[in-house]
Structure 1
Amino acid sequence: MTIKRLLVANRAEIASRVFRTCRSLGIETVAIHADADAALPYVREADAAVRLPGNAPSETYLRIDLVLDAARGSGADAIHPGYGFLSENADFARAVIDAGLTWIGPTPESIEAMGSKIRAKEIMKAAGVPVLEAPAEPTEADLPLLVKASAGGGGRGMRVVRRLEDLPGEVAKAEAEALSAFGDGTVFVEPYVERGRHVEVQVVDSVVYGERDCSLQRRHQKVVEEAPAPNLPDEVRTALHEAARQAAEAVEYRGAGTVEFLYDPATERFFFLEMNTRLQVEHPVTELVHDVDLVLLQVASAEATWFMGWSDPPQGHAIEVRLYAEDPAADYQPQSGTLTTFEIPLEDGVRVDAGFESGSEVSTHYDAMLAKVIAHAPTRQAAARKLAGVLSRARIHGLVTNRDQLVAILRDPAFLRGDVSTDFLDGFETGLRPSSATDGAAVAAAIALAERAKEARTVQRGIPVAWRNVVSQPQRAVFEEAEVEWYGAYAVDGHTVVSAGSESVTLETDGVRTTYAITVNGRDVDVDSSRGHVHLTRVPRFVDPAEQVASGSLLAPMPGTVVSVAVETGQEVEAGQQVLVLEAMKMQHPVLSPYAGTVTEIDAKPGAQVAAGEVLAVVEEA
């Protein structure tokens, strides 16, 4: 069957990625979008787009009936599920096939067999693939343990348990997260390998396309992926490939899939974790080192009654980083709002798969990933250096991201040695810029703001910036992060102003010249230079009393939905005690009391939608 028009039952960068291959094949494309995604680039890129009213995944991208109606209404004859949402839903695959459409993915039976991690382990064990045995009755000797959701992935519904008394509570939390994210609250427990490596093997049908190392994770979600896996003994590599081939054959697998393993370098043993019956987020690194288009192979496998593929040896090394709208310094708290500037340099050997652009709104309804940035080079060190350079030169304004942390990882000596593990980021520095970088940026920002004020003058345009006929006090620019004072416009705190404009300022510091690009958006001032990006917030001269909040107010850290409230008005609480739980970007975030005291006010109820900065409760300190 030849596909003529394909609908992608997904959003953002994966939809754009599939559309790119479709255009090369001459296949027309259809996008579906929730209201929050209407202005994202992928909607414009498609030949046709269908609105799914609402925003929550449960009322949009997870609605099988609406997705099928969109396919019928747009004339699509095939559906690609992308990843996440319905991509590993056997009922959805059956519904697509029953509707007479071509399903771009494995058979519903394969999805079903691998959809439950519990059943998948049983099948793999029978096929001779090594698995981690979960203890029936855990004891202290079994610690630490890992609670995992049986359905889905992405780190949701996953908790590490280090004390037996914490197990029931962590199981309950994992069940709640899994139910919210996947509609299935089933969880299981297995041993947790502290310094293991996450190594996965790409298959198409039962043909192996090498392996990837995805060990660098936070909250059990991948951050950096690469191919081939570094420092992997050849005999282990060969055994992993063979185990993945056996796994695919055990379920008569069709199309692209990934077999994930936990590798223990200390013993050189590996264990089956799960099989993802779909395209992986990190598939670009495999494509670059094997010179293959995995989406094209998915389409070929779906169109043909049989598929004969082959895999050439990997060429060079590829590293991918996931650029998230999150704050690593605040426990990776997701960020939402307007991405005012989003520019990543495109250079030889660099690939950017992005779901957003300058001006895009990042909502709280979906995952916080903005883009994947991938570098391919002859060696691992060259790929890391190239990728770090591109990220450091990117201009990203409006939201806090993990960009600086990614650059720090790529330049870290341990990472460059290939000393990676799933606990690599535990205690890792967030990559925050040194104060000297902030000082220079603040001076440049202050000069640029003065130049902006000059350009806005309607009278006395010829008077120099910062000039006073009676020098009674210095000029002053006050930011939340720094304060700058100066007399005249040529020397500021040891920085000499070489040239100045409202958007660009060059300073000479200790004989070294640096040019800063300044972008002003209301109170927000973003400064980019070779020293990196610095965000500054202007402090208004006068404060609006209406914007002040009472002492002890617990504010919503981001827009989201209140899941539960754990206290009552008048109740005494301890420092760090959970007051309520907020859900945003598919994750649950506890809001804790900052100190011991009494709850004097509760302004939020379960199910309520709250905005960032909104008062949720007030705790009066004891």
Structure 2
Amino acid sequence: FGNGDVYLEKYVTSLRHIEVQVLRDSQGNTKILGLRDCSVQRNNQKIFEESGSTMLPRELEQSAYDYAAKLADAVEYVGAGTVEFIFDLDANTIYFMEMNTRLQVEHPVTELVSKVDIVSTQFRIAEGEAIADLKPVSEGYAIEVRVNAEKAVQKGDKMEFVPTPGLIRECVLPEEDHIQLITMAAAGKQVSPFYDSLIVQIICYGKDRNDTIAKLREYLERVRITGVCTNIPLLKRVLDDKVFVDGVYDTTYLPHFLERIDFSELVKDIEDSADMHANAVDADTLKIEGSDELKVLSPSTSIFYGSSSPSEPPFVKEGDIIGVDQTLCLMEAMKMFTPLSLKQFNRSGAVLYPADQKFKVTRIMNSDGQQVNQGDLLFVVKPIKSAENAA
């Protein structure tokens, strides 16, 4: 503030996201545990994290280690930290991005290959112990995938993933020597709409990258989570993809991959894997006895909002005549807002609200900011005849 200088950064069009794990004690002993590659990401959210980078030359890897150590020493850092870099593929060089002064979600991949328990070492450092005797190694390869409670949807010509909080009905995560799990998922557990959609971290260890990919792919085939949608079908498709296996890609890999695959097939696979058909309702369920009115039920656990902001008018009011494309409300889960319309309830073989039908909103059951669970009543609507519509 008060300074007219303009700060310019180089715009990098093709890059890999790499990071170096650092430990440093109060006596000035700095240890580099290894490097991670987090280039398979979507909307700047990491999906895959690996204990090595397939395209980074050895000399640049060593430079990253040297820079990370010098940075930690220069600021007299104490504890566990992650120094992040941009690897510019066109210029074949690396640039410092930031330092995260904490443990990263993906730290287990480094623990597996370095044979260093980062968490316990951090406690030792906090107690004032020296880590001069710490001798990290580099053995094998590790990959972590993030299992998120989310489903794939198509919005216009774009593919998006939206959170799907709710009740987990079934959860099978087999125990294996080469697999580590960090999970909140279990049968009967509720995935909250208030927090991040990450429900399981699966970390796989192998002798090399190809071995780890094969083991992880086989393991995911035996994982079963129902009641909420997850991105496991997407993870399996990535592990099968030749571009990913060959390791020649940049941070645009995942968006480009989604353009290459059959998205409708992925949507179906995600819903089938979650056994969402068990949650599906039919036309008879929606009918209100003794009336021609229909229920509109919440598709998931979310926070209900009747307008886009407190200063904006509601999307619908009682008495409004609407079509199936009309936005009824916003459903918020994990800070993501999804418009809800009658059309979204229609599916192959079950048209609950016909496209050529108009409906009258007779009751709005919730207020802004109210939590609703899957199956809760949101609205009551009444199909109207053409003559009534004209009136």
Q: TM-score range by the shorter chain?
A: 0.7 to 0.9
How far apart in 1 are the matches of 2:326 and 2:97? 34
How far apart in 2 are the matches of 1:267 and 1:574? 54
2:313 corresponds to which residue?
567
1:376 alignment partner, one of 167, 191, 205: 205
SS of 1:409 mapped into structure 2: helix
C-alpha contact 1:228 1:314 (8 A) present in aligned 2: no
How far apart in 2 are the matches of 1:574 and 1:193? 46
SS of 1:212 mapped into structure 2: strand
How far apart in 1 are the matches of 2:47 and 2:208? 20
- Counting only pairs closer than 5 Å after superposition, residues 198-277 of structure 1 correspond to structure 2 as 198-205=17-24, 206-277=30-101
Distance verdict in 2 for CA 1:234–1:617, change over 3 Å: farther
- Counting only pairs closer than 5 Å after superposition, residues 406-425 of structure 1 correspond to structure 2 as 406-425=235-254
How far apart in 1 are the matches of 2:253 and 2:78? 34
Distance verdict in 2 for CA 1:616–1:272, change over 3 Å: farther
TM-fit CA distance, 1:616: 6.9
1:293 corresponds to which residue?
117
2:333 corresponds to which residue?
584
Distance verdict in 2 for CA 1:543–1:371, change over 3 Å: closer
SS of 2:193 mapped into structure 1: coil
How far apart in 2 are the matches of 1:616 and 1:422? 42
How far apart in 2 are the matches of 1:209 and 1:534? 42
1:49 corresponds to which residue?
none
Q: Does 2:378 match 1:615? A: yes
Q: Does 2:140 match 1:316? A: yes
SS of 1:425 mapped into structure 2: helix
TM-score, with normalisation over the residues of structure 2?
Answer: 0.73
Structure 1 unaligned residues grouped into runs of 5+? 1-117, 119-132, 136-189, 439-480, 482-525, 527-531
Letter in 2 for 1:268: N
How far apart in 2 are the matches of 1:229 and 1:315? 15
Distance verdict in 2 for CA 1:602–1:436, change over 3 Å: closer
- Counting only pairs closer than 5 Å after superposition, residues 15-26 of structure 1 correspond to structure 2 as none
Alpha-carbon RMSD: 4.2
1:30 corresponds to which residue?
none
Q: Does 2:248 match 1:396? A: no
How far apart in 1 are the matches of 2:121 and 2:188? 34
How far apart in 1 are the matches of 2:211 and 2:105? 23
C-alpha contact 1:289 1:316 (8 A) present in aligned 2: yes
C-alpha contact 1:260 1:274 (8 A) present in aligned 2: yes
More RCO (CA 8 Å, sep 6+): 2
1:325 corresponds to which residue?
149
2:288 corresponds to which residue?
546
SS of 1:215 mapped into structure 2: coil
SS of 1:347 mapped into structure 2: coil
How far apart in 2 are the matches of 1:572 and 1:209? 63
TM-fit CA distance, 1:554: 9.9
How far apart in 2 are the matches of 1:556 and 1:541? 15
C-alpha contact 1:334 1:558 (8 A) present in aligned 2: no
TM-fit CA distance, 1:256: 0.9
SS of 1:292 mapped into structure 2: coil
SS of 1:546 mapped into structure 2: coil
SS of 2:288 mapped into structure 1: helix
How far apart in 2 are the matches of 1:413 and 1:278? 34
What is the aligned length? 343
Letter in 1 for 2:175: L
1:176 corresponds to which residue?
none
Distance verdict in 2 for CA 1:243–1:433, change over 3 Å: same
How far apart in 1 are the matches of 2:50 and 2:37? 5
SS of 1:381 mapped into structure 2: helix
Deviation by residue 1:200-243 (Cα, 9 ceiling, x = unmatched) = 11101132111101111123211110011222111211111122
TM-fit CA distance, 1:392: 0.9
SS of 2:253 mapped into structure 1: coil
C-alpha contact 2:49 2:106 (8 A) present in aligned 1: yes
C-alpha contact 1:257 1:276 (8 A) present in aligned 2: yes
C-alpha contact 1:353 1:373 (8 A) present in aligned 2: yes
C-alpha contact 1:342 1:395 (8 A) present in aligned 2: yes
1:196 corresponds to which residue?
15
2:168 alignment partner, one of 316, 320, 339: 339
How far apart in 2 are the matches of 1:389 and 1:326? 22
How far apart in 1 are the matches of 2:379 and 2:286? 21
